[in-house]
Amino acid sequence: MNRRVVLLLVTAAWALWAQAPPDLREAARLDQEGRCREAAVIYGRALSAGAPSPALLNNAGNHYLTCGDIPKAREQYETLRRLAPGHVNANLQLAKLAVAGKQFGEGERYLLALATNDQPEVMAEAGTLYARMGDFRRAQERFQRVAALRPGDFGALWNWGRAAARAGDLVAARKALEAALAARPEDGGVLYELGLTHAASGEFPRAVYLLAQAHKAAPSDAGVALALARAAEGAGYFGDAVLAYERYLTLRPTDDTARRDRARALANTEGRREEGVQELEAYVRRRPSDPTGHFELAQLCWKAEPERSLALLAEAVRLDPKLAAAQTARGWLLHRLGRDEEALPHLEAARRMTPEAVRVWDQYGLVLQALDRSQEAETAFRKAVALGPADWEARLHLGRVLMEQGRETEAREWLEAYEKLRPARQRNARSEPGMIELATLPAAEARLRELARLTALVKARPDDAVLRQHLERLLLADGRIEAIVKLALSGGLAEAERELTAMMRERPEWSLPRRLHALVVARRNGEMGAGRCGRLEDWLQPACAEGRQ
Amino acid sequence: MKGAFAWLLLFAPAAPLFTDITSRSNFSYVTNNGFAAGRKYFPQPLCGGVAVLDFDNDGQMDLFFTNGAQFPEMKKSGPEFHNALLRNKGGGVFEDVTTQAGLTGEGYSLGAAVGDFDNDGFADLFVANAGANTLYRNGGDGTFQNVTAKSGLGTKPPGTLSVQGAWVDYNHDGHLDMVLSNYTVWTPETDQRCVRADGVDYYCHPKTYPSVPHRLYRNRGNGTFEDVTDASGFGAPRGKGMGIGITDVNGDGWEDIFIANDTEPNFLFVNQKNGKFAEQGLALGVAYNDDATTVSAMGADLRDFDNDGWPDVFYNDLTEQVWGLFRNLRGKSFRYVSAATGLGPLSMPFSGWGAGFIDFDNDGWRDLYSANGDVDSLRVGAAQHDTLFQNVGGKRFVDVSAGAGAYFGRKGYQRGAAFADLNNDGFMDVVVTALGRKPAILLNAGTGGGHWLKLRLVGRKANRDSIGARISVTTPTGRTLHDWLSPSVGFLSSSDPRVHFGLGAESKATSVEIRWPGGGVLTLRDVAADRILTVEEP
């Protein structure tokens, strides 16, 4: 019996104390003093007197619970439920006992009796019990109701956010946790949970930002350090990820799987591929029974050594037949090698194991299409599209297979959807570390730090056009470039050209004015560039102005 | 597994021997992109166009090469930058006749396109340049006149970097029009410099420069051209153009135009038969690969690799990308079949430029040649050898480069590639340029090769070169092979204007059907193999 339950029960008993008969008042006092045996005598006498009242049954139940006689406590509560099926305390206590005994069906039955109860405390208790039962959807629903009744209540938001995250409702989770973060901006727990939620949504840069702050708040929390490493890797900040894994490994030096993951991040860091591959190979030799090690190594060697990659994947699947990622990768690679008949069973296995995985369905569709099973391919692509509302690849593939079937109008809709969703360009992964540190700084300081970093780099590499462009975008954030673009777009092409020419004279080492000059000249010639940020208009969009092109 | 091995053995190629015969000839041309130690300029990787033409109508294919210029002046400051015209004297010997022909050139030259734009029976030359493009009219006396100014083909938006031109009679008026693949707006003054941490220059990523429209010029039939870029629908999409392929993708009898774009979606301009084109790359499935991404598409060729009667689309691209092969599904759409045909692992190590389908062993299946070498010289493995992938029954490709001759062991930075039967022996030869080197003239010994048929078509109502004609050859076993006449091939290059068919073991064609652009049809019966036929439009 934990302290919280005891206190609750004692408090409940005292609440009834005033109306209770003298004997029962005495029993409650004895309970409070921990004199169970003496209290039991009084309760036994009262109960044997016949026709016990609900209050007596409730008190007696609480007494036996407090004193550790669970069967008798349960008996009193059950008797009470027969008299008053919606009795709050009886149902809650019985539900707790059931959940503690892993009898979740029973627990649910008691909680259902409280479904219409809208007292925040009761809903919160029910939410907690649902969460313990793993029913996060119901837990989320209860906590959300509590949060609605108590706006701004940190505990309610926190519980709602956590339950929603675990229920897979990432939108609600973000909403609740962002509100919780607004209430307590430096709460490490919220930063961590919110970071995990963003990572689960694939929004890794934001996840890195949040988890970096959570890590700063709790530098010895290994869970946070590991989550930060994984998010950095997901964001493509491989250099940062390597450092984060190393920090985690100082906290958990025996975690060899983190060493494996660090090797993977290292292999993806520009210029350190061989180093990473060698470490991963060493890990596989050290831990030959880890299927993930084989899988990760296969991911790194498929281009140069596809057969070795297939063998590694086969070993991964042999070690863990349920490793869906390895099955998927095997099917994917076999398809890339033109061995579609062989690829099919692996993707079918992966599909059975992960029926909600967009990429598996999409890849499965490609293999079916290659095998001229167009209708089945269409079904697979449709499944992928339904599972991944933002997945552009599946939309392209669905459009293509519909075109093959001659369903042009429908096909074009999907192809247009693909064009809308397709990112203009994949951003290059940031190889050098620094993003995690940057994320922990205030915005103004972060900007200054980035300026200093870029200035130093440009000084070291004065002719690097890409670096210069990054620096110029930061330096020109005062709006001068935007003003020139607006001038050009409003018809002042000649004037814009003059301005840019002047800027090119002022700053001959900058490339941005020259690029814009070329676009203005192209416009004067009646032309426009293509692609995102390839047209003059695009430079007014934040994505271009911030260099996200 | 055993079965697969046996299958491979069954189709194991008997590779012929390509021999580099360049040393037999005395000429000074070396592909010179103007790179001097240190500073790199953006167009320098794009140099070394090749064109095959019979400029003197002696029945032997001559060669024309484009060349670079000195930077930043962009001038052919000396003979080391001259373009070159090599007259085929026979016996594998070529004579440098550049100066007397008046083809030394100006500025930084890229692609070359051969076509008889005035239908006078002599092959003319169009040269795409970083600066103004140039049209040379063949005077029929061994000389060429620069008629750019009069023709109007020199007009384009200032600073436009043109890569390649291709001739096509898109409106079937009997006059060859010009389609022009453009890359960006670039001048030496606006050139970006990209430098590594260790101070070494590298060629900037294409995203550093804006994309631009490609262009279309209509031949008025009087020696002048009208820029119909906007009126024809060419002006809307912007790309970074490289190779151009001309063929009729949907079987409607009208030529369509494919343009490979570097880091941008590829374009397929479908002829609307009314002087306009609709860009249908996305809808027809050739804009992106199966990973739903763009690649650095370079050379392009559109031929029927699986002999199903429909032209397919091929482009090559850079190392770690997969060369794109799209099978034409009866003109309705294309399916990406790079993986299915084995091109993935074959092509990933290579950066391809010049490329094309050639049936090097005359078995009736078009094989793939690619001129390779990285954009830059900085990476390990940047210098590469060319590749020859043999087409196995229209299903798969296998790499037969290693057995194709010593040349295929030579590594460099190859660029343009054109395909021609230089000695009229019925086997396709190859001419390849390489940065900083003399070109390679690779003579195909034809070892173990099959029978063949070569057609030189002469249009009357159609354009004299018959560009756009569809030719179908049926053999006694009922096999039918198809091609669409267009010399525009690969990257910066123009191939043999004659149409070549390998017939395998069959020594004749039971029928040869020719459909000229605009409608003229002629069917020849029982044509003996192993000869070059000249066929005039009725």
Three-class DSSP labels, B61-126: CEEEECCCCECCCCECCCHHHCCEEEEEEECCEEEECHHHHCCCCCCCEEEEEEECCCCCCCCEEE
* Partners of residue B195 in chain A, C-beta under 8 Å: 461-464
Interchain pair A337, B205: CB under 8 A:
no
Mutation target vs B (from A398, A400, A409, A537; most B CBs, 10 A cutoff) = A400
Question: Where is pLDDT greater, at A48 or A468?
Answer: A48
DSSP 8-state class, residue B478: S
Residue that has been written with the tokens 């099926």 in this structure: A85
In the prediction, which pLDDT does B2 show? Answer: 40
Taking contacts as CB-CB distances below 8 angstroms, the residues of chain B near A406 are 332
pLDDT for position A460: 60
Judged by CB atoms within 8 Å, which residues 322-381 of B form the interface with A? 329, 332-333, 335, 337, 339-342, 344-345, 348
Of A392, A530, A531, the CB nearest to B292: A392
Across the interface, which of A306, A419, A531 has its CB nearest the CB of B264?
Answer: A531
DSSP codes, B195-229: E-TTS-EEPPPGGGS--EE-EEEEE-SSS-EEE-T
| Closest approach of B242 to chain A, Cα-based (Å) | 15
Of B402, B417, B404, which is closest to residue B371 (Cα–Cα)? B417
Answer yes or no: is pLDDT of A15 > 70.
Answer: no
Averaged over B225-253, what is the pLDDT?
97
Lowest mean pLDDT among A226-240, A471-485, B355-369: A471-485
Residue showing tokens 């008025």: B220
Nearest to B332 among A335, A337, A406 (CB): A406
Structure confidence at residue B466 (pLDDT):
98
pLDDT at A1: 45
CA dist., res. A376 & res. A357, Å (int) = 17
Backbone angles phi, psi at B524, to 5 degrees: -100, 145
Q: Chain A contact for B284, CB < 8 A?
A: yes
- Tell me: pLDDT of B13 over 90: no
Q: What is the pLDDT of residue B7?
A: 43
Region B185-194: mean pLDDT is 90
pLDDT for the residue A496:
86
Burial of B28 (0-12, 13-18, 19+ CB in 10 A): exposed
- C-alpha angle with apex B441: B440 to B445, nearest 5 degrees? 130
Burial (CB count <10 Å: 0-12, 13-18, 19+), residue A33? exposed
Note which residues in 198-257 of chain B have CB less than 8 A from chain A: 199, 201, 204-205, 207-213, 235, 237-239
CB–CB contact A403 B197 (8 Å): no
Q: Is the dihedral of CA B68, B73, B75, B78 positive or negative?
A: negative
Full-model pTM: 0.77
> Phi and psi for B489 in degrees, rounded to 5?
-145, 145
- B335 contacts on A by Cβ (under 8 Å): 369, 400, 404
Min Cα separation A338/chain B (Å): 4
Among residues of chain A, what percentage have pLDDT more than 90? Answer: 59
B195 vs A531: CB contact, 8 Å cut-off?
no
Average pLDDT over residues B411-417: 98
Q: Which tens digits make up the pLDDT trace of A141-184?
A: 999 999 999 988 899 999 999 999 999 999 999 999 999 999 99
pLDDT in tens, A189-222: 999 999 999 999 888 888 998 999 999 999 999 9
Size of interface A-B (CB pairs under 8 A): 129
What is the C-alpha separation between A511 and B481, in angstroms, rounded? Answer: 53
Contact present, B439 and B432 (Cβ < 8 Å): yes
Note the pLDDT tens digit of each residue in B293-332.
999 999 999 999 999 999 999 999 999 999 999 999 999 9
- Give the mean pLDDT of A312-323: 96
**What is the mean predicted confidence (pLDDT) over A482-500?**
83
Residues B350-408 pLDDT 10s: 999 999 999 999 999 999 999 999 999 988 899 999 999 999 999 999 999 999 999 99
Q: What confidence tier does A549 reach under pLDDT thresholds 50, 70, 90?
A: very low
Q: Specify the pLDDT at position A489.
A: 83
- Chain B: residue whose CA lies nearest to A392: B292
* Partners of residue B346 in chain A, C-beta under 8 Å: none
pLDDT of B440 reads 98
Residues of chain A with pLDDT > 70: what percent? 81
Q: What is the pLDDT of residues A353-397, one digit of tens each?
A: 999 999 999 999 999 999 999 999 999 999 999 999 989 999 999
The pLDDT value recorded for residue B10 is 45
The Cα B351–Cα B323 span in angstroms is 9
- Closest listed residue to residue A74, CA positions, set A101, A105, A108, A45: A101
Shortest distance between the Cα of A249 and any Cα of chain B, in A, equals: 31
Query: Looking at residue B101, what is its pLDDT?
Result: 98
pLDDT of residue A151: 85
Q: What is the pLDDT of residues A507-546, one digit of tens each?
A: 665 667 777 888 888 888 876 655 555 677 776 665 454 4
Q: How far apart are CA A375 and CA A381, in angstroms?
A: 10
Is B308 in the A-facing interface, judged by CB distances under 8 Å?
A: no
Partner-chain residue, chosen from B192, B207, B340, that has the shortest CB–CB distance to A425: B207
Count Cβ neighbours within 10 Å for each residue of A232-247 and write b for 16 or more, e otherwise: bbbbbbbbbbbbbbeb
Lowest mean pLDDT among A106-120, A382-396, B80-94, B189-203: B189-203
The pLDDT assigned to A204 comes to 87
Query: Can you say whether the dihedral through the CA atoms of A513, A514, A519, A525 is positive or negative?
Result: positive
- Nearest chain B residue to A405 by CA: give it: B332
Q: What is the pLDDT of residues A43-72, one digit of tens each?
A: 888 888 888 889 899 999 999 998 999 999
Report the pLDDT value the prediction gives residue A548, as an integer from 0 to 100: 34
pLDDT for res A509: 59
pLDDT of residue A269: 86
Nearest to B518 by CA among B468, B449, B479, B481: B468
Sign of torsion over alpha carbons A286, A291, A296, A299: positive
- Please tell me the predicted confidence (pLDDT) of residue A520: 86
Contacting residues of A for B282, CB less than 8 Å apart: 415, 418-419
Task: Answer whether A549 touches B (CB < 8 Å).
Answer: yes
Binned at pLDDT 50, 70 and 90, residue A503 comes out as confident
In chain A the first and final C-alpha atoms are separated, in Å, by 59
Query: What contacts B130, CB < 8 A, 6 or more positions away?
Result: B43, B69, B74, B107, B108, B110, B161, B162, B186
For residues B82-94, average pLDDT: 97
Chain B residue closest in CA terms to A374: B335
Amino acid making up residue B421: D
Residue % of chain B over a pLDDT of 90? 90
Average pLDDT for B14-26: 85
pLDDT range class, residue A20, cuts 50, 70, 90: low
Provide the pLDDT confidence category of residue B193 given band limits of 50, 70 and 90.
confident
B444's CB contacts (< 8 A; 6+ apart) are B16, B18, B360, B425, B427, B428, B429, B430
Do B157 and A522 count as a contact with CB atoms less than 8 A apart?
Answer: yes
Angle at CA B319, nearest 5°, toward B313 and B321? 50
Average pLDDT of chain B to the nearest whole number: 94
pLDDT, residue A353, reads: 95
> Are B450 and B362 contacting, i.e. CB atoms less than 8 angstroms apart?
yes
Q: Which residues of B touch A527 (CB under 8 A)?
A: 157, 185, 212-213, 235, 238
pLDDT tens digits, A266-316? 998 877 889 999 999 999 999 999 999 999 999 999 988 999 999 999 999
Closest CA to B353 of B372, B379, B338: B372
Q: Do A525 and B348 touch (CB under 8 A)?
A: no
Residues 421 to 450 of A: which have CB under 8 A from any B CB? 422, 425-426
**Model pLDDT for residues B452-471, shown as the tens digit of each residue:** 999 999 999 999 999 999 99
Query: Is A135 in CB contact (< 8 Å) with chain B?
Result: no
Residue A494's pLDDT is 86
pLDDT of residue B12: 47
Output the pLDDT for position A525: 80
Contacts for B283 with CB less than 8 Å, ≥ 6 apart: A403, A408, A411, A412, A415, B333
Q: Which of A303, A408, A525 sits opposite B348 (nearest CB)?
A: A303
